Amino acid sequence: MDKRLHDRKFVRTFFTTPTAEQGDDDSAKKLRGAIGLRGMQAPDVWVPDNEDATAPNMRDEGARNIAEVVAEGGAEFPGEIHPRVVWHRDSPETRYKGFQHMLEIADPENGAVENIDGFVIPEVGDLDDWKKADEFITIVENEHGLEEGSLAMSVIIESGTAELAMGDLREEMGKASNNLQRLFLLVDGEVDYTKDMRAITPTGALPEWKELRHNTSRAASAAGLIAVDGPFDNIRDVEGYHDRITANNAMGMLGIWSLTPGQVVEANKAPLPPADGYWTIDADGRTVELTEADGVQVYSGDRVELEEVDGGYELEVGADEQFLESEEELAGALLDVLDYVPSMDDIVDSMEEFEAAKEAGRGAIAITQAATVRIDDVEVDVSSDRMWDEATYQAMQTPITLFQDVYHNRPDQHDDLAELYSEDVVERAIQVGN
């Protein structure tokens, strides 16, 4: 059963589904729907949610439903399966209930355990509380003849206490008296965290909790785990969800909770490099994408103005005016506000170029991006150099390593990837850097 343990080095998506709902003929209807997801709609980690998403009086039935549905369809499901059970640092009753549900779900007689990759434990407190959950999972493994440590454990960080606990993980994980090496995901749960921190916002919107996300990402880095952000409630707001993922990725938090298959698609794609590179301009504090027309990068907003005048150029960004005496000076000023977002193809190119240079004994090379930019009918040629050394190479490799992890573990997404990037780019991207 070793295969279970941390096959995935990256998890983009954490998708929850209620385990039992009243009022339908089949209380497991949503589970049956979710386990049928494939391709970009299927998450990296699927979480039959026997906690908050399921009514308290339906959770015993929910545990049985999980076992039944995973027994039927788990082998074909393309992602990992980690049910969430009930748990609370302040309630022994809840903890015992969670233990019973794990015993039920993992019972080999129910036929599901081969495709259960682990459990998600919510509402954990300090590390002593995490160890109680770990111990119950050890007992479940022992009772059911599973290898010790074969079931992964993921936790939801939804208290200040749990946030602090993450700082000690690395030290505790190796100790002989626990099996915390089974830890897999550190998932932020901002709604309950907000309650625990007693935070108040005028509109009731969730605070940003940037420090929590940093600390979660850092703990994942220090303990070899994977950081996942909590749910984004406003399902309608696709752009907001995308922005949140971009902000998370810049902290090393590459996974996020998804509440709908639509969010799963968005979150599966967002951390991957774009199929086509593009230029952006910092238009007085707002990043605006340039549009390409006949090979020229065009800015057509009002926040940046450019005019050819006697003896030079006048460039106005917001309320800041500059006079530039030559096209060269103008190109320099524009480079301060322009940026290039490289495509998958660009990144692979640069990596290959650097590898060849290293082979030839050079430690650093300049990667050049050139473009013709048009603002208010003035066209300028710009060209920006970025130095790549070993450290740059390795830092830029992260999206490629993520892509390779996805390619390796999610054959069901090969078609989508080939359609997105072309077969050729995919082929080179899975080779580069190995």
Question: Among residues 195, 379, 383, 424, which is the contact residue for a copy of itself, using CB under 8 A?
Answer: 195
Identify which of 254, 426, 237 has the alpha carbon closest to the alpha carbon of residue 344. 426
Residue 194 makes contact with a copy of itself by CB under 8 A: yes
Q: How far is the CB of 143 from a copy of itself (least distance, A)?
A: 32
Residue 94 makes contact with a copy of itself by CB under 8 A: no
Strands (E), 216-311: 226-229, 255-258, 278-283, 286-289, 291-293, 296-299, 304-309
Cite the active site residues: 389
Rg of the chain (C-alpha set): 25
Output 151 or 333, the one with its CB closest to a copy of itself: 333
Residue 242 makes contact with a copy of itself by CB under 8 A: no
Output 233 or 349, the one with its CB closest to a copy of itself: 233
Output 5 or 247, the one with its CB closest to a copy of itself: 247
Residue 170 makes contact with a copy of itself by CB under 8 A: yes
Pick out residues in 111-140 that bind a copy of itself (CB under 8 A): 126
Residue 200 makes contact with a copy of itself by CB under 8 A: yes
Question: Among residues 167, 296, 307, 366, which is the contact residue for a copy of itself, using CB under 8 A?
Answer: 167
Pick out residues in 334-373 that bind a copy of itself (CB under 8 A): 336, 339-342, 361, 363
Q: Which stretch binds a copy of itself (CB under 8 A): 59-67, 178-186, 247-255, 291-299?
A: 247-255
Pick out residues in 173-192 that bind a copy of itself (CB under 8 A): 191-192
Q: How far is the CB of 404 from a copy of itself (least distance, A)?
A: 13
Local structure of 176: helix, strand or coil: coil
d(CA 356, CA 86): 53
Spatial contact of 42 and 264, defined as CB atoms under 8 Å apart: yes
Q: How far is the CB of 345 from a copy of itself (least distance, A)?
A: 14
Q: How far is the CB of 260 from a copy of itself (least distance, A)?
A: 13
Q: How far is the CB of 115 from a copy of itself (least distance, A)?
A: 28
Residue 207 makes contact with a copy of itself by CB under 8 A: yes
Residue 428 makes contact with a copy of itself by CB under 8 A: no
Local structure of 275: helix, strand or coil: coil
Task: Print the binding letters for residues 295-314 with a copy of itself: x by CB under 8 A, - otherwise.
Answer: ------xxx-----------
- In residues, how long is the chain? 434
Here the tokens at position 256 are 């996020």
Here the tokens at position 205 are 């919107």
Output 300 or 372, the one with its CB closest to a copy of itself: 300
Q: Strands 312-317, 304-309: parallel, antiparallel or unpaired by DSSP?
A: antiparallel
d(CA 46, CA 80): 6
Binding footprint of a copy of itself, residue count (CB under 8 A)? 78
Question: Among residues 16, 41, 217, 297, which is the contact residue for a copy of itself, using CB under 8 A?
Answer: 217
Spatial contact of 165 and 125, defined as CB atoms under 8 Å apart: yes
d(CA 322, CA 279): 22
Spatial contact of 125 and 155, defined as CB atoms under 8 Å apart: no
DSSP H helices in 6-91: 29-34, 59-73
Spatial contact of 271 and 30, defined as CB atoms under 8 Å apart: no
Task: Print the binding letters for residues 390-409 with a copy of itself: x by CB under 8 A, - otherwise.
Answer: xxx-xxxxxx--x-------
Here the tokens at position 43 are 């998450």
d(CA 366, CA 350): 9
